[in-house]
Structure 1
């Protein structure tokens, strides 16, 4: 869908063809941002055709200010996109100002710091990410589509449709199958826990890319050696992952490293409690203490992860209470609509400074 540059107030570049978390975030956000009136278009490859977009041939039209504004915002999420924005603003002298979203949870390189220092507005996706920024910024945690990720009206019917056991409670771990994602920690925890809990089984959903097929084969071999191949199920990658969340009683996010990590939000929105490591933004998106929707433990700590999972598996009242609290917690704090509103506020900050 082509966008009229004269009516485009915000441009979201995506200068990477391969699908990534950043690309997914753009795909999910743009329709919501437009729905609340942000007049935003994408620029670049690797995005669905139904998103409003600008073409390379449209860039010369950016020398003219858009209708209703004195300048546009170029919302970058990668170094190359910051660099192109700087060229448009500082070399080609187009009426654009630059906003950057930072998800990094490590010390930035000198090159990244150089680029970030030249932004007109900066947004961090978590307080962890914000801690590495040396410039003024806003924090805006990601949100999710709470209509897509919602509890099952009838969990047994969902399980029947997915050919899953009806007489078992289910713990799940979803995402790419690789060492970084900690899939082995989940598998090892289930190998420890399931033999003494005959009413529980486990699901691993996701894809192992070519370089990680050996890793997946090793996990399946460990499960087989433990005699649990019928209770720790590797179900592959599915586009209807929202249905698989609805089938669960407990979700486990065992990552060793994560930029942000949406799976705990998707699970909680589906009414499923979460046990997670302190990777990504997990500590910031899982309610603990009195309003518990899950537990967070240290990274790469099999003992702690197993104990946390057992605490829910062995306490039906605690599991049920956390499940009841999970979706309202997400609706109050982490919808994609609330993320779009926070980004709108970040844009308005820039416009107030430069568009007066």
Structure 2
């Protein structure tokens, strides 16, 4: 059973629905526990699992008996939770039903020690804690009250199939026109939630410097991400970005595309994908762009350098707009370079970040078959 009692919507909340179909394909019966009416509950249902629901996290604790009865009825012996606040419930269930195996994925990257009495009790019930990158694993080793062998790196994975190019040239041009990208322009995109910390302002400032770094380059910027709180973004921050676009004189040069369910097709419309997040715990957007075979510029911080090995993309300082302008100018002026980077990125995605690889490693952990220190390398 995957437990995710969150009313938000981001990579963490999307995770259970991402892996449920592959878990089922590999022969596992998946179940879910989510907040009633949440996007998480909706996504689980779409993925093929009607989740058990609870009105709130507090009510979930009071309904521990009901949840235990559900676990017994369905013969569930593995719990996997994804928010530290959900660990209270999961640890309680494991304490009340000895034999339950409890797994926890740290999707966010812990920022402070968790070694007080409560955390020692809760994490003491955890069979395995998964770190989604080596960068977060190193922080987890210092922060959590667990021995090193119970903290393991497990890179996230995605279904690569939807990201393979499908559009013919006329369809691709139609897609680009919808984003206000003119024929012959280099489309430079930044996909992801429009919230502070994702580097949007540095990217915009870098775009404003492009006319100096590459005077002959004709380009158009595309911001892809929800514009409302319901779509996972910070509405005040979105308004701030719109003001910044105007201040930098980029009106007409940058499109706010909003939330798009057809992200793989939008990638086809782009020539360069930028991910300037300052401290990404993993960088799912990077992997999606790699799967799409795009030329990528990522922040030289957090886990992103682990993903973009030499030859599969470029890195830039997330604090320096000029570094982003230079990287965008370099890729923007060289179509052959973009093609080489995109091919290398796709190959790396296939060998390292396929959802089947991720779930195979995961179910080997569920069944107790993995004993090596690092799950994938």
Worse overlay, 107-116 or 232-241: 107-116
Equivalent in 218, 224, 227 of residue 243 of structure 2: 218
1:55-94 alignment, distance < 5 Å: 55=52, 57=66, 59-63=68-72, 66=75, 72-90=77-95, 92-94=96-98
Residue 26 of structure 1 is matched in structure 2 by 16
Deviation readout 1:281-331 (Å, 9 max, x if unpaired): 21121121xxx1211233312222222222212333222211222212211
Tell me if 1:146 matches 2:153: no
**Secondary structure in 2 aligned to 1:110?**
coil
SS at match of 1:37: coil
Change (3 A) 1:117 1:156: farther
Aligned residue number for residue 203 of structure 1: 222
| Change over 3 Å in CA distance of 1:181–1:155 after alignment to 2 | farther
Residues of 1 paired with 2:94 and 2:241: CA distance? 47
Contact 1:121 1:350 in 2 (8 A): no
- Does the CA contact (< 8 Å) of 1:152 and 1:270 recur in 2? no
| TM-score normalised by length of structure 2 | 0.80
Aligned residues: 331
Say whether 1:37 aligns with 2:27. Answer: yes
> 1:1-356 residue pairs with structure 2 within 5 A?
11-45=1-35, 46=38, 47-48=41-42, 49-50=45-46, 51-53=48-50, 55=52, 57=66, 59-63=68-72, 66=75, 72-90=77-95, 92-103=96-107, 104-110=109-115, 113-114=119-120, 115-134=122-141, 135=147, 136=149, 137-163=151-177, 164-194=181-211, 196-208=215-227, 209-223=234-248, 225=249, 228-288=250-310, 292-349=311-368
Asked if the contact 2:110/2:140 (under 8 Å) is kept, the reply is no
Alpha-carbon distance between aligned partners in 2 of 1:54 and 1:167, rounded to the nearest angstrom: 48
Instruction: Quote the offset at 1:251 in angstroms.
Output: 0.6
Structure 1 residues 94, 43: closer, same or farther in 2, change over 3 A? farther
Unaligned runs of at least 5 residues, structure 2: 54-65, 142-146, 228-233, 372-377
The whole-number CA distance in structure 2 between the counterparts of 1:351 and 1:323 is 33
1:93 Cα offset (Å):
2.7
Separation of aligned partners in 1, 2:5 and 2:336: 48
Query: CA–CA distance in 1 between the matches of 2:219 and 2:140?
Result: 44
Distance 1:204 1:166 in 2: 19
Q: 1:351 to 1:141 in 2, by over 3 A?
A: closer
Report the secondary structure of 1:275's partner residue. strand
Tell me how far 1:146 sits from its aligned partner: 1.0
